[in-house]
Amino acid sequence: MKTILTDQEVKDMFSSANRNAQVMLRELFGDEQLGLKGNGVWCLDSEGNLVDRKEWDKHSMTPHGAVVITKECAFVVAPHNTVVAQFSAQGKGKGTETLETNKESLDCHSATNRIVKEYEGIKHTDKDGDSQFDFIGAPAAEFCENYSVDSSDSRAWCLPTVKQLQIMSEHLKEINACFLAMGCPPVVPGCYWSSIVKDEWCAWGVGMSNGLAYGSSRLVDTYVRAVSAFRY
């Protein structure tokens, strides 16, 4: 029979434990009581520990992102500045990859990988001679795939799916509160590229202020923020 603790006791134990101890606590008390560590947003340090933002010590902890945990998923939002980039060349790329089109998907790794493979080495030059639209590959996805927090970072970073961006929008206040506590730049309001393709010419973006998905030309400069799957 499992020991019954108060919600606060479980939360205190879990937030102060390292990753191995968190796994043991999950096995002991079960996901239902742990509630996936109390669904919400947590600071992530370089050792993989989840830390309440009120307990973050800027002088002794190295930020590795903000962890968003819901009943559906858990993922890390990158702690570094949002960038602005185009999605990819318009058209079908190499025509070798079936691109992800399910807006409800949470598999950002597979979606990002398919985009990078589809447009690897594909050059786009704007017909009107505007150099801002001259590029090779898929800038938004490639930025996320090549991203790392620092030299100790071994996470696989990806371009978020529509669903993940909508979850970020729902928790934007808490995410930015974590970044403020860690001394990291916030996720600014605006439109963000997802890793979900709409059609031959457009990809899905999400408004961070309202969570609404919209189809936009792949050549438009749009905000990009990397995410990574989080596992206990």
Over the stretch 122-158, which tens digit does the pLDDT of each residue have?
A: 988 877 766 667 899 999 999 999 999 998 888 999 9
Over the stretch 172-207, which tens digit does the pLDDT of each residue have?
A: 999 999 999 999 999 999 999 999 999 999 999 999
3-state secondary structure of 50: strand
The residue ranges of every structural domain in the chain are 7-77, 83-229
Give the strand pairing for 227-229 and 74-77: antiparallel
Please tell me the distance from the alpha carbon of residue 75 to that of residue 232, in angstroms, as a whole number.
Answer: 11
DSSP 149: S
| Average of per-residue pLDDT across 76-87 | 93
